[in-house]
Chains A and B, each alone.
Chain A
Amino acid sequence: MDEHLSSSLLIALIGGIVDLDSTATWQFMISQPIVAAPLTGLFLGNIFGEAAAGLKLGLMVGTILQLLWIEQLPLGMNVPPDAALASVLSVALGFIAGRSYETYAEREVCYTVALLFSVAMGLLGRSLDMFVRRVNTNLDAWVCQRVEDNQLWSVAVGHTLGGFLTFSKAFIFCFLVVWLGVEPLKYFTQTLSLKHSSGFIVVQGLLPAIGFSVLASMVLKNRQEVRVFIIAIVIFTFLPAKIWLGIGAALLYMWRKSAEGGSGA
């Protein structure tokens, strides 16, 4: 089978499974960008014999998309942008199109353009989600009618059809975008002159600040916490960037606050 067709089918399968997890089933959170993107990178990298490169690209994309849409939740009627599909497509398009470039800078630009394109695809994915939910509403009416006629088997059929629709939507969408999108992406990246397009690497480095802002808005509730937060940022600016330092400090602060709460009660 043609290599491009087989990788498009693989991405479609991953997209379908990952999209099922985002709301329809399981909700183990494999649909979160921090998981979905590295997973795609790993599988795709395996096909081309570059598993480590795929995984690293997946982590980079997953980190940015996780931060960008961290506050988006599928609560009640709210349908958030499809971060799962955006993650899968961003890695797939970036990895496949990026393989044709020789230099690091060209590949990075290609990854960033793929990321921006996939954010738009995530928004389109939201519209498709809403369409599936409308079809499900018709399915629900059909099931209610059947149950009233004592055809109880219709519940399992209707419910399974709903899940099948979600999978099919993501499968077809991912397949078409990857199958048709790689060449236009390559063409677009080539039209950017390298001098100007290197600015995209600067953009990539600054984008996490947006997610950090959203998170800060979510967690900071009063002035005292803002003060503690700024002091902590200043301290961490001067300390070496060690992961265990960040996690250790967080656990220590949680333990201290917990003890304060316990003694105060």
Chain B
Amino acid sequence: MRNLSRLMLARIAFRSFFLQSSWNYRGMMSMGFLYAISPALDQIHQSTHAREGAYLRHLEYFNTNPYFSSIVMGVTLALEERLSRGEIGEDIIHDTKEGLMTACAAVGDGLFWDSWRPFIAVAALTFAFGNYLMTPLIFLALYNLPHLYFRFAGVYWGYREGTHVIRSLRGFRFPQIRQNLRYGTMIMLAYLIPNHVNLHTPYLLTNLPLEYFYFGEKVVQGIGALFLVTLGTIAYRARIDVLMISFLLMVCALVFFHWGILI
């Protein structure tokens, strides 16, 4: 039997927005996790002793993807209810929470940090390079659609389905979604590279008839950008720091500018 109301679950989802406020090197997100579920714990455990035990239980180490954390919260609360009825032991809660937070971290980090954020960032950059002033709003609106969905729906699924929630998550086919997002990022990147690396040389102006100038500029820019990105990719894969690569590029650009090769 489930006793927590929809309003209480919405309150927990809302509190999960503050999950990492007190991120620390011991419990990581533990205090945030406990803060989020504490109103429900207070309702589930009536006696002071049981409540104190529950609080101490959830001050243990906790770390997962913040957007998927509400799923873990829902499952944990379903288990806490069963514990209060004496159906399970504390160790079940501990083990389930640990397994679920690892699974949610893997799925959530892969989906949001590794695929969705780069995809939306590249889409937003496409608009930003085109000087669309609404770019930040486009970025925020698109990025937060799945974020808010998982935040709010996650706590309901977790609470309703308990440990079976993993089966529901499998239905999303996350690997395919991630692969498609990667393909989309790749093509938008291919569009950005020849169009938005600004590389100009004075030789075209002096040597090319004016009617071919625009075409010549585009070709030089495309080839130059591809060359630069290839060099940058090799350097990055050789584990050279991004700031060091930027610094080297800056020095080279200033030298070429000084010699009159770039303008």
Contact = CB atoms under 8 A, between A and B. Distances in A.
Interface string B51-68: 110011001000100110
Contacts of B38: 152, 155-156
Contacts of A23: 20, 23
B30 A63 contact: no
Interface residues of A, number: 100
Contacts of B250: 203, 207
B253 A203 contact: yes
Nearest to A138: B24
B186 interface: yes
A219 B189 CA distance: 10
B79 interface: no
B34 A155 contact: yes
B165 interface: no
Contact of A66 (B125, B186, B243): B125
B21 A159 contact: yes
Nearest to B225: A209
A67 interface: yes
Contacts of A35: 136, 139-140
Given A24-B20, A136-B22, A162-B23, A247 B188 contact: yes
Given A140-B30, A202-B257, A254-B180, A208 B24 contact: no
B35 A152 contact: no
Interface residues of B, number: 102
A28 to B, nearest CB: 6
A65 B232 CA distance: 16
Contacts of B179: 257, 261
Given A155-B35, A159-B35, A212-B193, A66 B121 contact: yes
A206 interface: yes
A56 interface: yes
A59 B196 contact: no
B174 interface: no
Contacts of B242: 68-69, 71, 210, 214
A152 B48 CA distance: 10
Contacts of B181: 254
B11 interface: no
A160 B35 CA distance: 9
B121 A70 contact: yes
B176 A210 contact: no
Given A68-B242, A156-B38, A250-B188, A34 B124 contact: yes
A148 B127 contact: no
B186 A29 contact: no
- State the main secondary structure of chain B at its contact with A: helix
Contacts, number: 304
Contact of A207 (B22, B218, B236, B246): B246
Interface stretch (A2-10, A89-97, A101-109, A222-230): A222-230
B8 interface: no
Contact of B140 (A30, A77, A199, A216): A30
Interface string A46-86: 00000010011001001100111111010111000000000
B22 A238 contact: no
Interface in B105-122: 109, 113-114, 117-118, 121-122
Contacts of A143: 31, 59
A246 B183 CA distance: 13
Interface of B: 17-18, 20-28, 30-32, 34-35, 38, 48, 51-52, 55-56, 59, 63, 66-67, 109, 113-114, 117-118, 121-133, 135-136, 139-140, 143-144, 147, 176, 179-200, 218-219, 221-223, 225-226, 228-229, 231-233, 235-237, 242-243, 245-246, 249-250, 253-254, 256-258, 262-263
Going nearest first, the 8 A-B pairs with the smallest beta carbon separation are A213-B232, A162-B22, A205-B198, A246-B191, A237-B222, A232-B190, A163-B21, A136-B24
6 contacts: A34-B124, A34-B125, A68-B242, A202-B200, A228-B186, A254-B183
